[in-house]
Amino acid sequence: MIPEQLQPLATALAATPAPFQAIQWIRESPNSKLLARLATEDRPLSHELLDELPPSRNQRYIRQLLVHTGFLAARNEDLERIPGWLEHELADKPASHANLARPFLHWFLLRRARQRAAVRRYPASADRDLRRRVSVALELLAWLDQQQMALEDLTQEHVDDWITGGTSQRRYLVRYFLSWTASRQLTGKLTVPSIPQQEPQTLLDEDDRWSLLQRCFTVDTMPLDVRAAGAITLLFGPSAERLCNLTPDHLQVGGEHTHLMLGRHPVLLPPRLAGMLHQLAEEPLPGSRSLFAQATAGPRLLFPGLVPGKPISTHAMTQKLNRHGISVRAARNSALAALAADLPSPILADLTGMHRHTAIRWVSYARRDWAEYLAARADEARQTGRDQKESS
């Protein structure tokens, strides 16, 4: 007997073109078991009910499934799931920490994030970034307790010592919390230095970069999505979030040419890459078709994930490319360095969608180090040519 709450989902599942997979999902998937347990509770299925569960992959899957099939209204999940995450984080924290963390998140971080989301799509990493800012604030509060120090007694020297005592750069994110505490007169005005700029650590040799690009264009045994994603990364260096969220709407066809919108202005695609992207837009990848039909029509994702209606995660995409010999970080760095060596920073920002300040840093780096590298390679090639002439 199917619970009444699940009748719409049962109808959507019955219409699937893959009945064997649907039966297997019902019998074996932990997601179906969680859904059945929620449906038998004496409460309607809702976002609020799901928010009470500990954050997990299964909880996120069920929520997106209910949105995908029209059972629940869509919401900006990257932002709206953070309050539930915070409550679970605060379960073992002192009440004094919770009394600071909650207003910091709700009235400072989330308020600004929602305002930004209202005028443009917030990046997929928004939830990760906001969680880090809250986590760092909780770390500082725990450190103050260890020092038996009150928040109002925090001085600039304490802040400097705490930041430099960390093993990573994440402590620099405490600037958001200290800006909020100063505005609320909970602390004095404290300064957090900017995160030290780091030069790209991993770069591909240009020969290796073009060799990998040739593989993406010609090796048919590689999965189509790997070939397309790898070629885009090697040519234009977009962020993983931007790459994974591409849809057919980002393709512009005019005459014999296809352009891709990564930033404000389209970039011309090589014909082979354009063909791969058109194929991804028209034909679902094997295994990527969802068991559940989408409630409302919308653009298909070029790189769909396992969660209905969601793109492949950046981690999964990175692992996919790495398995086929394409190091995403090195490929992206090399592509951006090559573009920055030839383009002014405003054009680089418009074409790739990166922030203008980031584009300025890339151009500064490329004009200094990348140009020297290319000049050295050119000298090496000329010397090799002279040696070959002398030996002949």
Same domain, 246 and 123: no
Same domain, 178 and 211: no
Greater model confidence, 189 or 38: 189
Same domain, 70 and 90: no
**Percentage of the chain lying above the pLDDT 70 cut:** 82
Res. 147 pLDDT band, cuts 50 70 90: very high
What integer pLDDT is reported at residue 81 of this predicted model?
A: 84
Same domain, 85 and 234: no
Same domain, 282 and 350: yes
Same domain, 358 and 217: yes
Query: pLDDT (tens digit, 9 = 90+) per residue, 225-260?
Result: 999 999 999 999 998 888 998 999 999 998 889 999
Domain interval for residue 176? 80-183
Highest mean pLDDT among 9-18, 68-77, 283-292: 68-77
372 has pLDDT over 60: no
End-of-domain residue from the set 132, 148, 183: 183
Query: pLDDT (tens digit, 9 = 90+) per residue, 107-140?
Result: 999 998 888 877 765 455 678 889 999 999 999 9
Same domain, 247 and 355: yes
Tally of structural domains, the chain:
3
Q: What is the pTM of this model?
A: 0.73
Res. 360 pLDDT band, cuts 50 70 90: confident
211 has pLDDT over 70: yes
Same domain, 243 and 283: yes
Res. 5 pLDDT band, cuts 50 70 90: low
Query: pLDDT (tens digit, 9 = 90+) per residue, 300-334?
Result: 789 988 787 788 888 999 999 999 999 999 999 99
Task: Please state the rounded mean pLDDT for residues 273-286.
Answer: 85
What integer pLDDT is reported at residue 268 of this predicted model?
A: 93
Same domain, 250 and 329: yes
Does some domain include residue 299? no
Does some domain include residue 323? yes
Question: Up-side HSE of residue 110: CA atoms within 13 Å toward CB?
Answer: 19
Tokens standing for residue 121: 């799509």
Does some domain include residue 189? no
What integer pLDDT is reported at residue 1 of this predicted model?
A: 46
End-of-domain residue from the set 183, 198, 230: 183
Same domain, 58 and 94: no
Q: Report which of 261, 222, 339 is spatially closest to residue 214, judged by C-alpha positions.
A: 222
271 has pLDDT over 80: yes
Query: pLDDT (tens digit, 9 = 90+) per residue, 60-110?
Result: 888 888 888 778 888 887 788 899 889 999 999 999 999 999 999 999 999
Same domain, 71 and 102: no
Task: Please state the rounded mean pLDDT for residues 177-186.
Answer: 95
Does some domain include residue 269? yes
Residues in the chain: 392
What integer pLDDT is reported at residue 66 of this predicted model?
A: 84
Same domain, 230 and 255: yes
